[in-house]
Chain A
């Protein structure tokens, strides 16, 4: 008697486990093609979404890269403003010379540096009033400086791509 009861209990448990495994396997078979080509959620096709939505899935938001932006620093009154800024790789760092003299503007990140020379003349980068832009692609913390005035400094952080 007891054995029969135990036997029915085992059979019921086995049936429930088999049902759960079958459901899991079916879900995996539907979902697998959606991620086969690209593991990112943004690569999910409409067809895959329709199939997954039957199981109650919600479409994840696609990862759209932010368009490049300009970050502007201004030289004026013996300072660079703002004194710090953050940008993403590919954004342009614009430097505006709002002084009355030619300036030489440089940036340095440990063992990589750049400057805004645009002509064969090595003695300056910016005419008075001139605005020049350079796209920065290498992540890191840059010190931006003006040769003629060691107090004119700013810090620009180019963040690593997320």
Chain B
């Protein structure tokens, strides 16, 4: 290929890529189950009054970038693994280092941000370029209506890039 064809090739590639991510194509949200080595755990969220906990992960590349910038980059895959808390055998919950211990897994939730995503959702409910998926602990997809199940609540935290805790985590990392 001679250099004079390069701009045309690049333009065609851009068009093709754009078409692939257009409004008619639903986002292909990552299924992280079985690929845990690609993720790092950043936060544990205990819910003591109902005896559950959530482990929050981010893909390792985005985690490294977010530590440098304090912001969540495109390509961020936030994964939440939900568990029942392990019982202590005395009617309470097992506590280790001041935190719940994971018991039975109950689900896997994913929040992913990619350039151009979100255009298929009404502006009134859209979460920027984030979209959502839910899986069983074994990795089977669970059909959800993200606009009803996820976006309504996350819209309340637009100021922290539609995340409840993760943006705070990296912002605090920057401010240490």
Q: Chain A interface (Cβ within 8 Å of chain B)?
A: 89, 104, 106, 108, 110-120, 122-123, 132, 134-135, 137-139, 143, 147-148, 150
Complex interface: chain A residues within 8 A of B153 (CB): 104, 122-123, 147
What residues of chain B lie closer than 8 Å to A147, measured between beta carbons? 153, 156-157, 164
Within 8 A of A (CB), among B155-176: 156-157, 159-160, 164-165, 168-169, 172
Residues on A with beta carbons closer than 8 Å to the beta carbon of B95: 137
Instruction: Pick the residue among B99, B157, B160, B172 that contacts A110 (CB under 8 A).
Output: B172
Q: List 23 A-B contacts (CB under 8 A).
A: A106-B164, A108-B165, A108-B169, A111-B42, A111-B44, A113-B46, A114-B45, A114-B47, A115-B45, A116-B49, A117-B47, A118-B49, A119-B50, A123-B153, A132-B49, A137-B95, A137-B98, A138-B97, A138-B99, A139-B98, A143-B168, A147-B164, A148-B156
Looking at the assembled complex, report how far the CB atom of B170 sits from the nearest CB atom of chain A, in whole angstroms.
11
The interface residues of chain B, by DSSP majority, are classed as mixed
Q: How far is the CB of A55 from chain B (nearest CB, A)?
A: 43
Task: Give the contacts of B50-84 with A (CB-CB under 8 A).
Answer: 50, 52
Known: A106-B165, A108-B165, A115-B45. A150 touches B160 (CB 8 A): yes
**Residues on B with beta carbons closer than 8 Å to the beta carbon of A123:** 152-153
Q: How far apart sit A143 and B167, CA to CA, in the bound complex (Å)?
A: 14
Q: Are B168 and A108 in contact (CB under 8 A)?
A: yes
- Interface residue B48 (Cβ < 8 Å from any Cβ of A): yes
Chain A contact residues, majority secondary structure: loop
How many B residues touch the partner, as a band?
Answer: 20 to 34
Which 6 pairs, one residue from A and one from B, show the smallest C-beta to C-beta distance?
Answer: A138-B98, A118-B49, A137-B98, A113-B45, A114-B46, A117-B47
A138 contacts across to B, CB distance below 8 A: 97-99
Contacts of B43 in A (CB 8 A): 108, 111-113
Q: Give, as a whole number of angstroms, the nearest-CB distance from B59 to chain A.
A: 17
Q: How far is the CA of A138 from the CA of B44 in the complex (A)?
A: 12
Q: Nearest chain A CB to B162's CB is how many angstroms away? A: 12
Q: Which residues from B are CB-within-8-Å of A110?
A: 169, 172
Q: Which residues does chain A contribute within 8 Å of B45, judged by CB atoms?
A: 113-115
* Interchain nearest-CB distance for B58 vs A (Å): 12
Given A111-B42, A134-B48, A150-B157, output 19 extra A-B contacts at Cβ < 8 Å: A104-B153, A108-B43, A108-B168, A110-B172, A112-B43, A114-B45, A114-B46, A114-B47, A115-B47, A116-B49, A117-B49, A118-B50, A123-B152, A123-B153, A137-B95, A138-B99, A139-B98, A143-B168, A147-B164
Q: Tell me the bound Cα distance from A138 to B160 in angstroms.
A: 25
- Complex Cα distance, B43 from A147, in Å, reads 18
A150 touching B49, Cβ below 8 Å? no
How close is B76's CB to chain A, nearest CB, in angstroms?
Answer: 17
A113: B residues at CB distance < 8 A = 43-46, 165
| A118 to B45 Cα, complex, angstroms | 14
Hey, which chain A residues are within 8 Å of B44, CB to CB? 111-113
What's the nearest-Cβ distance from chain A to residue B152, in Å?
8
List B contacts of A116 (CB < 8 A). Answer: 49
In the complex, which residues of chain A have a beta carbon less than 8 angstroms from the beta carbon of B156? Answer: 147-148
